[in-house]
Structure 1
Amino acid sequence: MTPPVHRQLSPAGAVRLLGAWHAGGPAYAALADALRAAVLAGTLPPHTRLPSERELAAALGVSRTTTTAAYHRLRDLGFAASRTGSGTVTVLPRPAPVAGPAGTRERAGDAPVPDPPPGAGRADLVDLSQATPPAPPQLHAAYARALEALPDYLASGGYEPLGVPALRAAVARRCTERGTPTTPDQVLVTTGAQHALALLAGTFLRPRDVALTQSPTYVHAVQALRDAGARVAGVPVPPADGPRAAPFDVELLESTVRRLRPRLVYLVPDFHNPTGRSLTPAERVAVRHVADRHGVTVVADETLSELALDGPGGGPAGDDDVPPPLAGDGASPHVVTVGSASKAFWGGLRIGWVRAHPDVLAQLARTRAAVDIASPLLEQLAVAELLGVRAQVLAGRRALLRERRDTLVAALREHLPAWTVAAPPGGLCVWAGLGRPLAQAFAAAAAAEGVLVNAGPTLTPDGGSADRVRLTFTRDPAELERAVPRLARAWARVS
Structure 2
Amino acid sequence: MAGSNPSRPAEGAGRTGRVLGSRQLAALLPDPAGSRPVYRHLARAIGALILDGRIALHVRLPAERELAVALNTSRATVTAAYDLLRESGHAYSRQGSGTWTALPEGAVPREVTRRLAPLDTTIDLARAAPGLPERVLADALHRVAPRLGAHAHTPGYHPYGLPELRAAVAGRFTRRGLATVPEQVLVTSGAQHALTLVLGLLCRPGDRVMTENPSYPNALEALRRARLRTVSVPMTEDGWDVEIVESTLRQTVPQLAYLIPDFHNPTGLLMPGHERARVLRAARRSGTWLVVDETLADLALDVPAPPPFASYATPGGAGQVVTVGSMSKTHWGGLRIGWLRAPARLVTELAGQRIATDLGGSVLDQLLALDLLERDEELLPARLERLREQRAALVTALSERIPRWTWRTPPGGLSLWVDLGEPIASALAERALDHGVRIEGGAYFATEPGVFEQRLRIPYTMPPDVLREAVHRMAATLAGGLPIPSADRRPNWVA
Query: 2:482 is matched with which residue?
Result: 493
Asked whether the equivalents of residues 405 and 421 of structure 2 are also in contact (C-alpha less than 8 Å), the reply is yes
**1:177-201 deviation per Cα after TM superposition (whole angstroms, max 9, x unaligned):** 1100111111000011110011011
Shift of 1:43: 6.8
Asked whether the equivalents of residues 213 and 267 of structure 1 are also in contact (C-alpha less than 8 Å), the reply is yes
Pair 1:454-2:440 in alignment:
yes
Between the aligned partners of 2:470 and 2:277, the Cα distance in structure 1 is: 41
Query: CA 1:290/1:274 → structure 2, altered by over 3 Å: closer, same or farther?
Result: same
Q: How does 1:98-247 map onto structure 2 within 5 Å?
A: 123-136=120-133, 137-239=135-237, 246-247=238-239
Query: 1:328 is matched with which residue?
Result: 311
Shift of 1:13: 11
Asked whether the equivalents of residues 445 and 494 of structure 1 are also in contact (C-alpha less than 8 Å), the reply is no
Shift of 1:149: 0.7
Query: CA 1:189/1:121 → structure 2, altered by over 3 Å: closer, same or farther?
Result: closer
Query: CA 1:178/1:27 → structure 2, altered by over 3 Å: closer, same or farther?
Result: farther
Query: CA 1:236/1:329 → structure 2, altered by over 3 Å: closer, same or farther?
Result: closer
Shift of 1:287: 1.4
Between the aligned partners of 1:34 and 1:475, the Cα distance in structure 2 is: 35
Asked whether the equivalents of residues 169 and 185 of structure 2 are also in contact (C-alpha less than 8 Å), the reply is yes
Asked whether the equivalents of residues 200 and 226 of structure 2 are also in contact (C-alpha less than 8 Å), the reply is yes
- The one-letter amino acid of 2:401's match is H
2:453 aligned to 466, 470, 483, which one? Answer: 466
Query: 1:100 is matched with which residue?
Result: none
Shift of 1:418: 1.2
**1:103-123 deviation per Cα after TM superposition (whole angstroms, max 9, x unaligned):** xxxxxxxxxxxxxxxxx9864
Asked whether the equivalents of residues 290 and 322 of structure 2 are also in contact (C-alpha less than 8 Å), the reply is yes
Between the aligned partners of 1:480 and 1:36, the Cα distance in structure 2 is: 30
Aligned residues, how many? Answer: 424
Asked whether the equivalents of residues 190 and 196 of structure 1 are also in contact (C-alpha less than 8 Å), the reply is yes
Asked whether the equivalents of residues 21 and 441 of structure 1 are also in contact (C-alpha less than 8 Å), the reply is no
Asked whether the equivalents of residues 208 and 229 of structure 1 are also in contact (C-alpha less than 8 Å), the reply is yes
Between the aligned partners of 1:355 and 1:268, the Cα distance in structure 2 is: 15
SS of equivalent residue, structure 2 residue 367: helix
Q: How does 1:345-494 map onto structure 2 within 5 Å?
A: 345-463=331-449, 464-491=451-478, 492-494=481-483
Shift of 1:295: 1.5
**Structure 1 stretch displaced more, 434-443 or 259-268:** 434-443
Asked whether the equivalents of residues 424 and 482 of structure 2 are also in contact (C-alpha less than 8 Å), the reply is no
Between the aligned partners of 1:60 and 1:147, the Cα distance in structure 2 is: 63
- The one-letter amino acid of 2:256's match is L
Query: CA 1:148/1:231 → structure 2, altered by over 3 Å: closer, same or farther?
Result: same
Percent identity for Structure 1 against Structure 2: 40
Query: 1:290 is matched with which residue?
Result: 282
SS of equivalent residue, structure 1 residue 403: helix
- The one-letter amino acid of 1:141's match is D
Asked whether the equivalents of residues 159 and 373 of structure 1 are also in contact (C-alpha less than 8 Å), the reply is yes
Shift of 1:22: 5.5
**1:134-167 deviation per Cα after TM superposition (whole angstroms, max 9, x unaligned):** 1034222222222211233223210111110110
Shift of 1:216: 0.3
- The one-letter amino acid of 1:328's match is S
Between the aligned partners of 2:171 and 2:232, the Cα distance in structure 1 is: 33
Query: CA 1:15/1:343 → structure 2, altered by over 3 Å: closer, same or farther?
Result: farther
- For structure 2, the residue ranges without an aligned partner over 5 or more in a row are 9-19, 62-66, 82-103, 485-495
Asked whether the equivalents of residues 34 and 445 of structure 1 are also in contact (C-alpha less than 8 Å), the reply is no
TM-score calculated relative to the size of structure 1: 0.75
Asked whether the equivalents of residues 37 and 448 of structure 1 are also in contact (C-alpha less than 8 Å), the reply is no
Shift of 1:35: 9.0
* Higher RCO structure, 1 or 2 (CA under 8 Å, sep 6+): 1
Query: 2:85 is matched with which residue?
Result: none
**1:235-258 deviation per Cα after TM superposition (whole angstroms, max 9, x unaligned):** 11113xxxxxx3411121111112
Query: 2:14 is matched with which residue?
Result: none
Between the aligned partners of 2:274 and 2:448, the Cα distance in structure 1 is: 28
Query: 2:12 is matched with which residue?
Result: none
- CA-based RMSD of the aligned residues comes to 3.9
SS of equivalent residue, structure 2 residue 159: coil
Query: CA 1:383/1:489 → structure 2, altered by over 3 Å: closer, same or farther?
Result: same
TM-score calculated relative to the size of structure 2: 0.75
- The one-letter amino acid of 1:135's match is L
Query: CA 1:452/1:20 → structure 2, altered by over 3 Å: closer, same or farther?
Result: farther
**1:340-359 deviation per Cα after TM superposition (whole angstroms, max 9, x unaligned):** 01111111000000011101
Asked whether the equivalents of residues 263 and 296 of structure 2 are also in contact (C-alpha less than 8 Å), the reply is yes
Between the aligned partners of 2:394 and 2:446, the Cα distance in structure 1 is: 24
Asked whether the equivalents of residues 23 and 494 of structure 1 are also in contact (C-alpha less than 8 Å), the reply is no
Shift of 1:402: 1.4
Query: 2:302 is matched with which residue?
Result: 310
- For structure 1, the residue ranges without an aligned partner over 5 or more in a row are 46-50, 52-56, 69-85, 96-119, 240-245, 312-320
